[in-house]
Amino acid sequence: MSRAQARWTPIKVATNGGGPYVDWCWTDGVRFDDPFFTQTIERGLRDPFRLLFQRRTWLNEIEAEAEARPPTGLVFHLSRSGSTLVSRMLQTLPDAWVLSEPGPVDSVLAIPGALAERAGRLRAIVSALGPDTATGPYVLKLDAWAVLDFEVFEEAFPAVPWVFCYRHPGDVLVSQSLQGSYHMIPDTLPAWRLGEPLALPAQPTLDEYGAAMLARLLDRAMRAAERSSRGLLVHHDQLPGAVLDRTAPHFGIQVPASQVGAILETTLWDAKNPVLPYAGGPGRRVDATPEQVDAIDRLAMASYMRLERTRELADAGP
Amino acid sequence: MAVSEPDLAAFVELVVADPAAWSQLQGIGSRDEFCSAVAAAAAHRGLDVTEDDVTRGLVAARRAWLERWV
């Protein structure tokens, strides 16, 4: 299991009149083994000592002090595509340090600047979030929209392997329509992070916006796969096997035979709510409305099929 | 830090910088007991911190965390 760590952990990055600052929580004795980083911090902050006695530093102080502590691997994803299962399975490895969607990473990516500046901030916060000792793998699972900033990750960590988890965008759109993520709400992500405007009809519906956003994420994954030799595309249908067979080796992680049972045990439970058994079943697109089917067909399927062709070629080998 | 009461803010900074002072304040599960312990420890350092100040400090810290995206 992920170990506890005697340390201060950055839990929040925000900006005031003096510039970007970091709030730190004393996390000695807190196990980072929840499905998401935020849940672990919430748990830690129930302790009044940890809640009251926080540190605050300027972000540029840690940029100046940043040690070279790159992650072992990065997990990008389309959302609702199995990335939490990937991180949960890797969390079970001895000495693994696996963080799932740590808010401070997104907060530093949300600060505009030149590529080198943004990469410097990213290196600093990823280093600050990392383990104190590099005895095991350090894996970062990112927010779904982080692939929009792939160039920043590439600049910050040019040698670090990455995976992109995805599935049929119809499955994702239907799931998102039931419980939506931040990036699927129009205008929550600033235009500069999206790059060129989304390919949207005039007065788009929420389904059309969502489909266009998914297409954008798939296109950015495609661009990343074209420019980086360190990527691996993982379709939801390839899970959970692709964690042991492909993702772990891709990250250079040796999985001891004695750990395989424990890792597979994880797959029996709902990755995001592990008190519940994993339900499985067909993708959510079987419940799609005609409007959702239409939006996906018009706005996202071409991007999905391009990525699928690329993955199939890569999976087939040279 | 999110704490606004000056003496409490000063005490938080003192404690954060002095891990030797932590043992008497860590591991207290009850909020009332924690507030009382912080007020007493602050008084020991010549700072005027009431239990209500500590309660407000905890609320402010909680709020700062909950509003982290705002």
| Shortest Cα–Cα distance, B46 to chain A (Å) | 18
* Helix-helix angle A206-227:A290-299, to 10 degrees: 30
- Which pLDDT does position B70 carry in this prediction? 74
> What value does the mean pLDDT take over residues A37-61?
95
Using only the alpha carbons of chain A, give its radius of gyration: 19
Q: What does the CA dihedral A84, A90, A91, A93 come to, rounded to 10 degrees?
A: 170
Which residues of chain B are at the A interface, by a Cβ-Cβ cutoff of 8 Å?
1-3, 12, 15-16, 22, 25-29, 31, 34, 38, 54, 57-58, 61-62, 64-65, 68-69
- Which pLDDT does position B3 carry in this prediction? 66
pLDDT beyond 90 at A277: no
% pLDDT > 90, chain A: 79
Lowest mean per-residue pLDDT among A41-45, A172-176, B3-7, B43-47: B3-7
- Which pLDDT does position A4 carry in this prediction? 43
According to DSSP, residue A245 is labeled: I
The shortest CB-CB distance from A12 to any of B15, B28, B65 is to B65
Test mutation, A40, A52, A185, chain B, max B CBs within 10 A: A52
| Under 8 Å between Cβ of B45 and B14 | yes
Look up the ipTM and state it: 0.95
| Domain range annotation of chain B | 6-66
- Which pLDDT does position B6 carry in this prediction? 84
A101: left (phi over 0), alpha (psi -120 to 50) or beta: left
Q: What is the mean pLDDT of chain A?
A: 92
| Shortest Cα–Cα distance, B40 to chain A (Å) | 15
- As to burial, measured by CB atoms within 10 angstroms (0-12 exposed, 13-18 middle, 19+ buried), residue A222 is buried
For the segment A205-222, what is each residue's pLDDT rounded down to a tens digit?
Answer: 999 999 999 999 999 999
For the segment A89-127, what is each residue's pLDDT rounded down to a tens digit?
Answer: 999 998 899 999 999 999 999 999 999 999 999 999 999
Please give the C-alpha separations between residue A36 and each of A26, A31, A307, in angstroms, as whole numbers.
18, 12, 27
Nearest chain A residue (CA) to B26: A49
Half-sphere exposure (Cβ direction) of A20: Cα atoms closer than 13 Å: 22
Check if A111 contacts B (Cβ < 8 Å): no
> What value does the mean pLDDT take over residues A26-43?
93
- Which pLDDT does position A1 carry in this prediction? 33
- As to burial, measured by CB atoms within 10 angstroms (0-12 exposed, 13-18 middle, 19+ buried), residue A168 is buried
Nearest chain A residue (CA) to B34: A48
For the segment A137-188, what is each residue's pLDDT rounded down to a tens digit?
Answer: 999 999 999 999 999 999 999 999 999 999 999 999 999 999 889 999 998 9
For the segment A228-274, what is each residue's pLDDT rounded down to a tens digit?
Answer: 999 999 999 999 999 999 999 999 999 999 999 989 999 988 888 88
Across the interface, whether the CB atoms of B34 and A49 are under 8 A apart is answered yes
Check if A45 contacts B (Cβ < 8 Å): yes
pLDDT tier, A3 (very low <50, low <70, confident <90, very high otherwise): very low
Domains and CATH numbers, chain A: 8-316 (3.40.50.300)
CB pairs under 8 A between A and B: 52
- Which pLDDT does position A6 carry in this prediction? 52
| Under 8 Å between Cβ of A195 and A148 | yes
> What value does the mean pLDDT take over residues A38-42?
96
Q: Record the pTM.
A: 0.93
- Which pLDDT does position B1 carry in this prediction? 58
* Separation of first and last alpha carbons in chain A: 37
The shortest CB-CB distance from B1 to any of A11, A47, A54 is to A54
Amino acid at A145: W
Tokens standing for residue B48: 């005027």
Say how far apart CA A213 and CA A207 lie, in whole Å: 10
Q: What one-character-per-residue DSSP string does A118-159 give?
A: HHHHHHHHHHHHS-SS-SS-EEEEPPGGGGGGHHHHHHH-TT
On chain B, the residues whose CB falls within 8 A of the CB of A41 are 65
- Which pLDDT does position A242 carry in this prediction? 95
- Which pLDDT does position A2 carry in this prediction? 41
pLDDT tier, B62 (very low <50, low <70, confident <90, very high otherwise): very high
Amino acid at A133: T
For the segment B1-39, what is each residue's pLDDT rounded down to a tens digit?
Answer: 566 678 999 999 999 999 988 999 998 989 999 999 999
